[in-house]
Every structure is written in C-alpha cells, then in structure tokens.
C-alpha cells in the first residue's frame, strides 16, 4: 500500500460553493479508507466532488490527489490523474449520440493509454457483476433508468481507479444494488485505493453496519466529522 494519502483537502475554502461564512474543509483519506458523507444539497455535493477531482480550484487551501496539488498540474498531467478516479455523477452526462459501450469507456480512452480490448473485457465483467447480461451496445436512450444506473457504476469502476466518488448512486431506489456496490468498493480499498460516498438516502445513512471509516456531513457550513473512524 502507498504510504501517502489518496486524497487530502487542507484548509480549503471556496466562496463559490459555500459562501464566505463556511469553515475550511479538511479531509484526509488514507489507502483503504471509505468516507460516507451526508450531503442533502445536490449542487453542493457535485461541487465538492469537482473539488476532489481538480475540476474546481479553491480560493484558499490545497486539494491533493496522490500527493499532487490539483492547482499546480498542467493539463496533460491533470488528465492522467483523473484517469485514476472513478465517479458516479448525479447528472451522469451521457452523450446520447454515442452508444453505451463508448460512453462507458470514453473517460479511460481520453485520460489513459490502457488497451481498448482489455478495457472492454473488464467493463463486460463489471456489467455482469452489477446485474447486466453484458455490456450494452445500443444507444443510451434505449436503456431503462435502472440499467443506466448500472452502466454508470461500470464506468466508475473500469480501469482500477485509485479513488472512487459516488454521488448518491442508488438514490434510495435500488437497494438490491448495495451489496454488489460495496463488494466492488472493498476491492478498490484492498488494492490500496479509497472511496467517497455522498448520499441523500436515509436507507444508506441510517444503516449502522455500513462499512465507512469516516462519517461526515456536508452542508453550507462546510464539512463536519460526525463519527470517529472505525
């Protein structure tokens, strides 16, 4: 395992996201750790995820991924680093003119130099893991809402990410998917990665057995620790 944090937010302030009255954001995720964050405000949760991915730079403080300060990375390096982050977005941003397979693999194709056929095979295995008969080939618009959610999970986990960020992935609607999702998160953590699950679901948050090492709340006052790491 790596001896350094996967993700570190240090004295981060963003007036754009939180206003001037919020406290500084501090979070450190070590290899194998998993943060469950109660985040009811959807735009705020997505903005926080953007911070973690280096898509939004704070006015003060540092956000480091794999020891690299996002604000100091040239474009090519930032793209390569984002290839190591899997994300389920609240607004998945599917490109409707592309088929499902291309949508799933596009991030890895753009941000990494991974072999395309190997990515296809990995994505197909992940699709089966998440309850699909295989990796869909047709247009995204032809998939049901449930299958689009599953395809989103495939996209997040393909390429063996070092960090996975989930924006309320099951939305309280797909309880049957939680075991498969937690199983895949354990694999990321066992490889020395880390995970963040931003949730609006009481089904997830109120489960005392949910295997989080950090429980936090994200609101317009900032990020607050609610429970010590297990």
User: How do residues 131-146 score in pLDDT, each as one tens digit?
Assistant: 999 999 888 888 898 9
Structure tokens at 216: 């936090």
Q: For residues 26 and 9, what is the distance between their CA atoms, to the nearest angstrom?
A: 5
Pick the more confident residue, 21 or 10. 10
Contacts of 63 (CB under 8 A, 6+ apart): 7, 8, 9, 10, 12, 51, 52, 54, 57, 69, 70, 71
pLDDT digits (tens, 9 = 90+) for 173-201: 778 889 999 999 999 999 999 999 999 98
């Amino acid at each position: 395992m790596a001896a350094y944090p996967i993700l570190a937010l240090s004295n981060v302030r963003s007036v754009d996201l939180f206003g001037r009255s919020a406290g500084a954001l501090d979070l450190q995720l070590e290899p194998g750790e998993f943060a469950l964050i109660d985040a009811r405000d959807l735009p705020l949760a997505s903005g926080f995820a953007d911070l973690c991915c280096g898509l939004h730079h704070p006015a003060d403080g540092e956000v480091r991924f794999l020891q690299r300060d996002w604000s100091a990375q040239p474009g090519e390096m930032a793209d390569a680093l984002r290839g190591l982050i899997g994300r389920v977005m609240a607004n998945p941003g599917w490109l409707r003119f592309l088929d499902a397979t291309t949508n799933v693999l596009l991030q890895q194709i753009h941000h990494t130099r991974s072999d395309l056929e190997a990515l296809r095979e990995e994505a197909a295995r992940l699709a089966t893991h998440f309850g699909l008969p295989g990796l869909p080939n047709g247009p995204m618009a032809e998939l049901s809402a449930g299958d689009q959610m599953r395809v989103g999970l495939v996209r997040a986990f393909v390429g063996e990410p070092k960090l996975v960020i989930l924006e309320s992935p099951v939305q309280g609607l797909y309880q049957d998917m939680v075991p498969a999702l937690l199983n895949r998160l354990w694999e990321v953590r066992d490889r020395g990665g880390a995970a963040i699950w931003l949730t609006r679901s009481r089904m997830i948050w109120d489960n005392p057995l949910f295997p989080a090492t950090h429980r936090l709340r994200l609101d317009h006052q900032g990020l607050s620790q609610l429970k010590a790491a297990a």
